[in-house]
Amino acid sequence: MSRLSIFSGSLRSTSPRGRIARFVSLIALVSLPLLQAQEDTAGAISREVKAIFERCGNAVVKIHAVDEHSELSGTGFFVDPTGTIYTSYSVGGEANNFTVQFEGKEYHATQLMADLRSGIALLKIDAATPFLPIGKSAGLGLATPVVAIGYPLDLPVSPSFGMIAGFDRKYLGRYFSTTHLRVNVPTQRGEAGAPLLNFKGEVVGILVSSVDSGSACYALPIDAAEKIRRDYVRFGNARHGWIGIDVQEASKSLEGSSA
């Protein structure tokens, strides 16, 4: 015979089956609000990513190039209204005969500069263009949400969502010229050079390499890229930091020196 107990002023069965039923009901009552909250969060992120893509996607372009080995395909984006394009060195560094697809047309592009140490290149087309606003990478923190927009596998342009996962100076024995952003955004062939955007739609990095067969990627912080672009405007090339010694031949002996 099952036992009876008083619960909240009423008689309830405390048989094993009754206890299991109440436990399942309690779990359902607790889980439903959590599931609803998760769905609401996922929906909010999806809407934000879509809004960023619709606002910024027209300033992202597909780049075709030819080097001494094969044809290359990658992504780039406009940074001013006169057709200047950021892309990765792997796309715009050692190739030639650049073609940019923009607004359904193909434009010949010229290389302004390429910097192997940072992994980026600057191209330019002769056209008035939309452009992406430049943000700041210095204030980024772990788990900051970001969006990459690129051309994967020669397919149409599309967005990818992820978060900042780390700030690294090296990867598998390879040292970077500056701290790079490790981002858990999956990447595929064709997305090198894509912009990394914050939720304001501002560029905070440039995708330069993939990690673990495309499960994540590294991006050059936009602060570092902009320093190189300013160097190009001012000096015609990149001016990297340097610490060391320099040797110059003296035209005459110095006082007190045995040389």
CATH number of the domain at 189, please.
2.40.10.10
Residue whose tokens read 């290149």: 121
Does position 171 have pLDDT exceeding 50, yes or no? yes
| Domain identity same for 120 and 172 | no
pTM of the model: 0.78
Q: Which two tokens stand for residue 227?
A: 């320093």
> Total domain count for the chain?
2
| Domain identity same for 175 and 211 | yes
Helices (H), the chain: 16-56, 89-92, 222-235
- Which residues fall within 8 angstroms of residue 154, CB to CB, at 6 or more apart? 62, 73, 190
Q: Which two tokens stand for residue 2?
A: 């099952």
Q: pLDDT tens digits for 140-161? A: 999 999 999 999 998 999 999 9
Does residue 133 sit within a domain?
no
Q: From CA 152, how far away is CA 135, in angstroms rounded?
A: 24
Does residue 193 sit within a domain?
yes
| Domain identity same for 108 and 161 | no
Contact 186, 180 (CB under 8 A): no
> Does 204 or 247 have the greater pLDDT score?
204
> Which pLDDT score is estimated for 63?
98
> Does 177 or 126 have the greater pLDDT score?
126
Distance of CA 50 to the CA centre of its chain: 16
3-state secondary structure of 165: strand
Domain-terminating residue out of 124, 153, 169? 124
| Domain identity same for 172 and 111 | no
| Domain identity same for 112 and 152 | no
> Which pLDDT score is estimated for 1?
45
Contact 96, 115 (CB under 8 A): no
| Domain identity same for 150 and 119 | no
β-strand pairing of 96-102 with 145-150: unpaired
Q: Which two tokens stand for residue 145?
A: 């949400």
Amino acid at site 150: G
Does residue 161 sit within a domain?
yes
| Domain identity same for 197 and 117 | no
| Domain identity same for 231 and 152 | yes
Q: pLDDT tens digits for 229-241? A: 999 888 877 777 6
pLDDT-derived band of residue 47, with 50, 70 and 90 as boundaries?
A: very high
| Domain identity same for 166 and 112 | no
Does residue 96 sit within a domain?
yes
Does residue 220 sit within a domain?
yes
| Domain identity same for 168 and 205 | yes
Does residue 184 sit within a domain?
yes
Does residue 170 sit within a domain?
yes
> Does 215 or 257 have the greater pLDDT score?
215
- Nearest CA among 122, 157, 143, 140 for reference residue 203: 140
Does residue 18 sit within a domain?
no
| Domain identity same for 91 and 158 | no
Question: Which domain, by its residues, includes 182?
Answer: 145-235
- Going 184 to 207 to 65 to 57, the CA torsion angle's sign is positive
| Domain identity same for 114 and 170 | no
pLDDT-derived band of residue 46, with 50, 70 and 90 as boundaries?
A: very high
